[in-house]
Amino acid sequence: MTAAPLSGPLTGRARADRRPHSLAEWQADGGHAALGLARQQPPAAIVDMVAAAALNGRGGAGFPAAQKWRFMPAPGTIPGDGPSYLIVNGDEMEPGAFKDRLFLEALPHLVIEGAMIAAHAMHASEIIILVRDAYRIGIHAMEQAIAEVDAAGLTGRNLKIRVHASAGRYIVGEETALIEALEGKRAVPRKRPPFPAQSGLWGRPTTVNNVETIANIPGIVANGPDWFRGLSRTAEGGTKLFGVSGRVHKPQLIEAPMGTTARELIDRCGGVSGTGELLAFQPGGGASGFLGPEHLDLPLDFANVADAGSMFGTGTLIVLDTGTCPIGVIARHMRFYARESCGWCTPCREGLPWVAHIVDGLEAGTAKTADLDILHMTAGEAGPRGRSFCDLMGGAMAPLATGLHRFERQFADHAAHGCRA
């Protein structure tokens, strides 16, 4: 983790040494004030507040958070027996994403406070914070914080909170596969509809929210939606914990307003390293399409990046300089996604390993020009929404499809000679 100073409404609350606060420290710092405020209001009011704040989910899909909460039914209207659940998704396995880690390790009480407010707003009585197993420090910090909160009686009589360490892989980050994993089954996504709010964990109403999304809730409640919208440069509210990795001098996390440009972020990181000249960047982690130098001044938010032909996703940039072989980067991505395919549906299960094999072959010089047809076919046939069972394939095809277009010359060259970089 970067040692540069963090500032901003979210990260500015972290301790300088990045250790988590104790409950006493957190409360002394103004923590849980928002929780108190929220509990005095009816759930619908909180939902309206979050809606007015224009908070888009920070997990990758960018779905408006409040709209997801509105799907949750009120108690007494739900068939069956059992609680409603809020699941906080800390699975963070997207290549290039390392932002949720900061919240889990350094701001656990912020996450818990946000989760309790959200649970109140959506009538949930159980909160499960699912963290990827590799984030052992974050898991420990969250468990400590929950123990403190429980001991202090802050959860009240009816709310249960626990941490669950994921035993699975990348696909567990997909919200319905996450729910399957929590039920002890193979982490295979579910088809929606029915939506988790209708039939989720154990068939009960469930909402899955990203850690960063939840971390924004106390601020909204404490300071109001107008304040939150005012933090942003675009219509999408709040700040964003951007990450920058790859060919920059100082890779780091940066909290900045929504709508900050890639140029600003890369400058903050000391500029492009290697040759010093930008070749391309992926704005949203491994599963987003390549953007180029022409997009350096694009205000980064979900709508703008989508219009530019990519995906905002987790807001963690991967930067390539002109000295990096883009085929190698794509090969690395394809190998990851092929390995992480859950094996449920045909295009991803059979198509991704095939693509990975071919791109590896391009690097090694064993692939042929005819193999490029298969890359184009897979990107064209399996990329569009609805062709595969979930969006893993669509995400994996984004760097491939944009790469085939943007790096056409390099692909042809590799097919003829292998990697000469």
Partner 1 sequence: MTVRLTIDGRQVEAQEGEDLLTACTNAGVEVPHFCWHRAMGSIGACRLCAVKVRRHEADPGTIEMACMIPVADGQHIDIADPEAAAFRGHVIEWLMRNHPHDCAVCEEGGDCRLQDMTIASGHHLRRAGPDKRIHRNQYLGPLITHEMNRCIACYRCTRFYRGVAGGRDLDVFGAHDRVYFGRAEDGVLESPFAGNLAEICPTGVFNDRGWSKVYARPWDMLETPSVCPHCAVGCNIGLSVRANRLRRVISRSHPAINADFLCDRGRYGPLFIEGPSALKAARHHGHAVPLRTALDQAQEAIAVSAALGGAIGIGSPRASLEANYALRRLVGPEHFFAGLDAAEVALHRRLAAHLANASIASLADIAAADAILVLGEDLTGTAPMAALAVRQASRAAERALAAEKHVPAFLDNAVRVAGEGRRAPLVLVTPVPDALDAIATHPLRRAPADIAGFGHAIAAALAGKRADPDASAAAAALAAASAPVIIAGAGLGDPAVLDAAAAIATALNPRARLALFPAEANSLGLALLGGEGLEAAADVPGRGAVVVLENDLHSRCDPATIARLFADRAVIALDCVETATTAIAHTVVPVASFADAAGTCINHEGRAQRTIAARPDSAPAAWRVLAAFGGGAEAGLDDLQVALARDCPQFAAIAAAAPAASYRTPSGRIARAPARFSGRTASDSAGGDAAPPRDPDSPFSWTMEGGALPAELFQGVRILAAAALPPPAQAPAIGGAGLILIPLHDPFSVSETDRASTILAARAPGPQLRLHPADAARLKLAEGAIVSVEGRTVPLVLDKHIPIGHAGLTTRRTTPRRLMPEGSK
Contact set with partner 1 (CB under 8 A)? 79-82, 169, 186, 190-191, 194, 198-199, 202-204, 338-354, 357, 370, 373-374, 377, 381-382, 384, 386-389
CB of 70 to partner 1, least distance (A): 17
CB of 354 to partner 1, least distance (A): 5
Angle among Cα 101, 103, 104 to the nearest 5 degrees reads: 65
Q: Which is nearer to partner 1, 48 or 350 (CB)?
A: 350
Tokens of 269: 């990181």
In which order are the strands placed within the sheet that holds 252-257? 252-257, 239-246, 316-321, 278-282
Q: Give the per-residue SS3 of the chain.
A: CCCCCCCCCCHHHCCCCCCCCCHHHHHHCCCCHHHHHHHCCCHHHHHHHHHHCCCECCCCCCCEHHHHHHCCCCCCCCCCCCCCEEEEEECCCCCCCCCHHHHHHHCHHHHHHHHHHHHHHCCCCEEEEEEECCCHHHHHHHHHHHHHHHHCCCCCCCCEEEEEEECCCHHHHCHHHHHHHHCCCCCCCCCCCCCCCCCCHHHCCEEEEEHHHHHCHHHHHHHCHHHHHHCCCCCCCCEEEEEEEECECCCEEEEEECCCEHHHHHHHCCCECCCCCEEEEECCCCCCCCECHHHCCCECCHHHHHHCCCCCCCCEEEEEECCCCHHHHHHHHHHHHHHHCCCCCHHHHHHHHHHHHHHHHHHHCCCCHHHHHHHHHHHHHHCCCCCCCCCHHHHHHHHHHHHHHHCHHHHHHHHHHCCCC
Q: Which is nearer to partner 1, 191 or 409 (CB)?
A: 191
CB of 384 to partner 1, least distance (A): 8
Q: Are 102 and 253 in contact (CB under 8 A)?
A: yes
Residues in the chain: 421
Q: Which is nearer to partner 1, 166 or 316 (CB)?
A: 166
Mark residue 202 as left, alpha or beta (left: phi above 0; alpha: psi -120 to 50; beta: remaining): left
Tokens of 21: 């606060």
CB of 170 to partner 1, least distance (A): 10
CB of 79 to partner 1, least distance (A): 4
Q: Which is nearer to partner 1, 170 or 290 (CB)?
A: 170
CB of 126 to partner 1, least distance (A): 15
Q: Which is nearer to partner 1, 102 or 171 (CB)?
A: 171
CB of 382 to partner 1, least distance (A): 8
Q: Which is nearer to partner 1, 219 or 347 (CB)?
A: 347
Q: Which is nearer to partner 1, 30 or 365 (CB)?
A: 365
CB of 381 to partner 1, least distance (A): 5
CB of 122 to partner 1, least distance (A): 17
Q: Which is nearer to partner 1, 134 or 377 (CB)?
A: 377
Q: Which is nearer to partner 1, 111 or 342 (CB)?
A: 342
CB of 368 to partner 1, least distance (A): 10
Q: Which is nearer to partner 1, 164 or 357 (CB)?
A: 357
Q: Which is nearer to partner 1, 37 or 374 (CB)?
A: 374
Measure the CA–CA gap between 391 and 395, rounded to whole angstroms.
6
CB of 320 to partner 1, least distance (A): 26
